[in-house]
Structure 1
Amino acid sequence: MTTISTSTGAFFDKSRTDMKSLRGQAETLQTQLSTTQKLSRSSDNPVAASRLRALSRQETLSQIDTANANRANADLTLADGAMSDIADTIIRAQELATQAASSTLTAEQRGAVATELDQVHAALFGLANTRDSNGHALFGGESTGDAYKLDAAGNAAYVGSASSEDLPLGEGQSVTRSMTGPQFLTFTDRNGIQSDVMATVKALSDALKAGTTPTVGANDALASLQTGLDTLSTGQTVVGTRLAWIELTGERRIDRGELRSAEQTDLGATDIASTMARLQETLTVLEASQAGFAKLSSLSLFNQLR
């Protein structure tokens, strides 16, 4: 009798354990289907969970790099546009200097040229103080105010910082988001004197107004303006190269993101088809186990002795 009791108890315990295990498997599979994730907690697969956390951190850093790239791209695009406008303005200044170099101009005509040169100077000053995507000085380095200010004599003086901000693009790569004004507006003239485009334009205007050797001043200004235009062209090339670099790193970031997404899917995402098949199989086995347990538990030795 004791043997029968012990065997019966063991049968019931094993049956309950088996069915509980099957129900747990079914619930786990149903959770994976509803959340589309294989892992509900790290202990399910510590190695995979650790890798998924690392991939998640990489994704967060990639988003930061993308934001930096977008900002640098916006600022460099603004810089490229402003520098193109500055180039057009310098070309107009060259045309006016060519007119002023003519010895046939009357004093009144030279005065008119000087007036337009003042307008050119004002236009250059405004372009040099162009704002970036955050409303700060585009060509003022890391300065938040204007890049240039006018002194009491009307001369434009640079008041920004020495360099522009570097923005990280990921994998140890970075890009400078703009250029400072002196990097493309300041140059050394043929006399070895450092000057800039705005100073050249103002000096020519002042010479025309004063009437002191305007022809010589105009010829000197022409040479200086050409040097300034060449310096500006070099700056535009630098900006274009940086824009191309941002595009290249962006393509690489997209490729890495696709690889990262594929690995995340492989490690953590639920395979819907196979999981549904396993769930159906588990439910079938559970149903069969419950039916078998009900049938066997209803049997009794006394029924066989009748």
Structure 2
Amino acid sequence: MINLSTSAYFERATRQMGDLRSRANKMQEQISTGDRLTRSSDDPVAAARLRTLSRTQTLSDIDKTNSDRAAADLKLADSALSSVAEIITRAKELTIQAANGIYGETERATIGMELENLQKSLLLVMNGENSAGHALFGGQTSGDSYELQGGSYAYVGTAQTTPLDLGEGQDVIPGVTGPEVLEFEVNGSTTDLFAVLGNLAAVLQDSSQDGTSAANAALDSLDAGLQKVTTAQTVIGARMNWVDLMDTRRIEASELNADEKATVGGADIAETTARLQEMLTVLEASQASFVRLANLSLFNMI
């Protein structure tokens, strides 16, 4: 004869229903979060893989931050270079006028004043700031790219710009330095746009000098300067395209990462919902059975 223990029955039934409720709660959590794993012990191998995927995504987010900064700085540089090209174009128009022998001293002096103003405008552009508030064309320096020294403008930045990591072992230089934009060679001699504009402006405003000859001589320098700026624009454009390419590759990798995370640790909502409904049905039946059995006269008599 089997001896029944009321306390043992209640303990066993309570434990079984508690287990059912716990499993049902876990399924409800999976449905609400979309995650199959609530703790590493659910599936240690899958949990380890999910941690690796999370670290990969974190690194990708860092690369995205660098990429966004590089893109912003390159766009700023591209816009600034367009302004420099406009300054050179206007300077060339004025120089052609000054080279025309029909202009008198007053007209050439006026042209010289405008060239002087163009030089000041060039300084403002070249001392612009990048997205971090540092010198746009100053390399690694945080201050201005150019300063007035001894009556002429001198480059005070560094020789190189710090590259930014884009991921996959790739990087990009988010700009160009001042000399890469303004320095060029004419007839075997190195000069820069500041000197060309400043020297021509001074000659045209000095009636004792031959402004017409100086203007004719400056045209070659302005052409060389415009070519240097165009080259810098090409470099910036290529780097912008490289950033875009790396962005596309990173987005594709992130999508694959997300898909794998969903496969490894994601819950099948439809399947989990069906299992939850089944579990709730079992739990409800167990509770009803417990209530009926608990009220049997046999239990009342024991």
Shared fold, TM over 0.5:
yes
Aligned to 1:257: 254
Change (3 A) 1:13 1:136: closer
Secondary structure at the residue paired with 2:160?
Answer: coil
Residues 145-181 of structure 1 show CA distances to partners (whole Å, capped at 9, x for unaligned) of 110001231x110001111221111111111111111
Distance 2:6 2:81 in 1: 92
Check conservation: 2:140, 2:162, Cα contact below 8 A: yes
Cα drift, residue 28 of structure 1? 2.0
Cα drift, residue 281 of structure 1? 1.1
Distance 2:18 2:117 in 1: 88
Moved more, 31-40 or 90-99: 31-40
Report 1:11-22 matches (<5 A): 18-22=16-20
Aligned to 1:201: 197
Distance 1:204 1:82 in 2: 23
Distance 1:123 1:296 in 2: 94
- Unpaired runs of at least 5, structure 2: none
Cα drift, residue 266 of structure 1? 2.1
Secondary structure at the residue paired with 2:3?
Answer: helix
Check conservation: 2:110, 2:205, Cα contact below 8 A: no
Aligned match for 2:63, one of 62, 65, 72: 65
Matched, 1:233 2:218: no
Equivalent AA in structure 1 for residue 3 of structure 2 = S
Distance 1:291 1:214 in 2: 108
Number of aligned pairs? 298
Matched, 1:90 2:98: no
Distance 2:122 2:113 in 1: 14
- Unpaired runs of at least 5, structure 1: none
Secondary structure at the residue paired with 1:156?
Answer: strand
Cα drift, residue 108 of structure 1? 2.0
Distance 2:251 2:32 in 1: 29
Report 1:1-306 matches (<5 A): 1=1, 4-5=2-3, 18-153=16-151, 155-190=152-187, 192-210=188-206, 211-291=208-288, 298=296
Distance 1:135 1:20 in 2: 61
Cα drift, residue 289 of structure 1? 4.1
Distance 1:63 1:78 in 2: 23
Residues 123-158 of structure 1 show CA distances to partners (whole Å, capped at 9, x for unaligned) of 1111111121222211111111110001231x1100
Question: Cα RMSD (Å) of the superposition?
Answer: 2.6
